[in-house]
Amino acid sequence: MAFSNEQLERYSRHIILKEVGVKGQKKLLNARVLIIGAGGLGAPAALYLAAAGVGTIGIVDADEVDLSNLQRQVIHATSNIGEPKVESAKETMEDINPDVTVNTYQEFVDSTNIAELIADYDFVIDGVDNFPTKFLINDACVMAKKPFVHAGIIRFKGQLMTYVPGEGPCYRCVFKTMPPKDAVPTCKQAGVIGAMAGVIGCLEALEAIKYILGIGNLLTGKLLTYDALAGDFHTIKLPPADPNCAICGEHPTITELIDYEQPECADAAHGVSLKVGE
């Protein structure tokens, strides 16, 4: 694969990096990344993956753009209100970089379609805003041996971690079970500073890029948290993969994908301090 003069100019700032170079840029152009959610987290991730020249990007979202999205979902514009988010995102991504193929899936992710959605992709980005889907993404990726990055944001805080098969705990190892319903407020209920979505969504894109290129240290076995008001990033070392984990353990009890529901809020203190939504 020979680069055109236009591509050499477009990716020149990547190519001069010894960690990337021509070989690395070719890896990016041949890579396939799926983004689940075209909202606050998925929007900046999609923008930077497209700009970086990730060759095939899938984006999944059933919703349409509304006015309240525009404070943080920077891939959409006022003129896109009422359009499917996946189509709005595709238009912006292709305008940024015509090298990129954008596959759109205007549908809800559930147990009947997630395995097929992730099957043809090298890396998955979790950009969703609810715990049932986060647990489903984890379970599907573990079963399919697909690496993925989880993230969440709320108010002025965010977090992310990366799962790579065989290299650290999965999301379920860390969080075990989802918090009771209404124990953790959503961004719609509690609010979120718009730029937080940009910070954490871009970090998700970086995890995907580092994985594709095989460079640096991924957030495997670590949870990165960011408190914007305190101006503090903190890396928490996570325990090793749990041999008793219901999905990735030595004797998994979850053997098929199901659609989860959050339990009623009978125990609001049940390990939810690190669990945040989008």
Binding-site residues from annotation for ATP: 13, 40, 61, 72, 85, 109, 129-133
Label residue 64 exposed, middle or buried (CB < 10 Å: 0-12, 13-18, 19+). Answer: middle
Catalytic sites, residue numbers: 187
The residue count for the chain: 278
Cβ atoms of 242 and 169 closer than 8 Å: yes
Q: Please report, for residues 151, 158, 233, the alpha-carbon distance to residue 182 in angstroms, rounded to integers and kept in the order given.
A: 19, 19, 27
Binding residues for Zn(2+): 170, 173, 245, 248
Angle at 40 between CA 33 and CA 205, to 5 degrees: 35
Which residues in 225-247 are b (16+ Cβ under 10 Å) and which e? bbebeeeeeeeeebeebbeebbb
Cβ atoms of 277 and 152 closer than 8 Å: yes
Sheet architecture: strand order including 123-126: 101-105, 56-60, 32-36, 123-126, 148-154, 157-163, 222-227, 232-237
